[in-house]
Amino acid sequence: MKKKIITISREFGSGGRTIAKALATRLGIAYYDKELVKQMAIDTGLDQQFVSDESDYAPSKSIFAYNLQEGMLGGLCAADILWDVQRKVILQLADKEPCVIVGRNADYILRDRTDCLNAFIHADTSFRSERIVRLYGTTEKTPEERLKDKDAKRRINYKHFTEKEWGMSQNYHISLNSGVIGIDKCVDIIADLFTGQSNLK
Amino acid sequence: MKKKIITISREFGSGGRTIAKALATRLGIAYYDKELVKQMAIDTGLDQQFVSDESDYAPSKSIFAYNLQEGMLGGLCAADILWDVQRKVILQLADKEPCVIVGRNADYILRDRTDCLNAFIHADTSFRSERIVRLYGTTEKTPEERLKDKDAKRRINYKHFTEKEWGMSQNYHISLNSGVIGIDKCVDIIADLFTGQSNLK
């Protein structure tokens, strides 16, 4: 079966999003990230900024505060509702057209499809620290704390909903260290796997 | 720094050894696996079959039986001695010449070098089951039991000596699912990373 979807999971600051965007542009296929969040927000009726903050991370204090504020909906907490909507939107997008989907546990959500190429992008702390400061500026936290915090949230979120370990090679078809291999080369490798599919089944 | 060493870690039956051999041949560099075991056996004075059986796996009943039979050497058990010799031999080989080293926690042993490209090869159970029966024949155990058993031993061995999780993407520069990507394509990708090193540092 030909691959028509690429999912990109990534450590914070590894350049996974940049790689995903470059892949979508090069391959001429759709890219879903903010667009996905927007669609989710429309479907849930939840506040868009809230969805953007919470959809890729572990259930946090703010989501519990949201529950207290808004109450439970049909016995489900906001995190469960968000997961259901996220799952539904991703399944719809995958059915709709070839695309690149960043984060949001798409590798797991689409696990029953045989036309997905699942990639995980990671890099050493020093590479990622330099990159987030350059791209997003400094904050009151050290870059290392910011990486640890965001990665922990993604790890907990993945474990909570998939019962699998975030970052385990076996969850993905290809995992790449973007710091050592280079962001452009990561794009080359994944694009080549997607287009030169004689060896993909 | 140019890469001069490739380490290949692998799930049993994934074709990691085949990929390693093909890489060494294509790149015209040395290949260490049985040769490494032989060297280790010479250095330790331990029985070569014993070294071959134990060097890549968790300390097992047989290694404890060996200890009982042979006694402790200088307060160290056979597994510790084997680890020290294995470490020493791998460090020497890496100093000696460009090479491909299969298994034996070489990615961890050579972690202070910046000239290693560390790869992990894995594949789905069905792909590996079919492959081990085709290559190694059947045994009294099911193929799935054999995979589970060998992988568990490798996982425990890696954890015991490195305190890291075997198969975590972050331990390697590249991880590939050989069942989906294809063994030949895995060789192409790793060889290209090793030779076309404009993006490697």
Its ipTM equals: 0.84
Q: Is residue B199 part of a domain?
A: no
Range of the domain at A113: 5-191
Amino acid making up residue A155: R
Q: Is residue B200 part of a domain?
A: no
CB contact under 8 A, B174 and A173: no
| A89-93, B110-114, B188-192: the lowest-pLDDT one | A89-93
Residues of A in contact with B193 (CB under 8 A): 181, 185
pLDDT of A65 higher than 80: no
Q: What's the CA gap between A142 and A135, in Å, rounded?
A: 14
CB contact under 8 A, B182 and A199: yes
Q: How confident is the model at residue A37 (pLDDT cuts 50, 70, 90)?
A: low
CB contact under 8 A, A169 and B122: yes
Q: Is residue A56 part of a domain?
A: yes
Q: How confident is the model at residue B183 (pLDDT cuts 50, 70, 90)?
A: very high
* Residue A72 φ/ψ region, left for φ over 0, alpha for ψ in the -120 to 50 degree band, beta for the rest: beta
Q: Is residue A167 part of a domain?
A: yes
How many domains would you assign to chain B? 1
Q: Is residue A199 part of a domain?
A: no
CB contact under 8 A, B181 and A200: yes
| pLDDT higher at B198 or A6 | A6
Q: Is residue A198 part of a domain?
A: no
The mean pLDDT of A111-136, rounded to a whole number, is 95
**pTM reported for the whole predicted model:** 0.85
| pLDDT higher at A200 or B86 | B86
Q: How far off is chain A from B84, nearest CA to CA, in Å?
A: 27
pLDDT at A193: 94
CA distances A33 to A21, A51, A190, Å, are 9, 12, 18
Q: Is residue A140 part of a domain?
A: yes
The pLDDT mean for chain B works out to 83
Residues of B in contact with A200 (CB under 8 A): 180-182
User: What CATH number did the domain enclosing A49 receive?
Assistant: 3.40.50.300
Q: What's the CA gap between A99 and A102, in Å, rounded?
A: 10
Q: Alpha carbon B118 to chain centroid distance?
A: 11
Q: Is residue A197 part of a domain?
A: no
Query: Is residue B97 within 8 Å of residue B115, measured between CB atoms?
Result: no
Q: How confident is the model at residue A64 (pLDDT cuts 50, 70, 90)?
A: very low
Cα R_g (chain B), whole angstroms: 17
Q: What's the CA gap between B11 and B56, in Å, rounded?
A: 12
User: Which residues is B118 bridged to in the sheet?
Assistant: B7
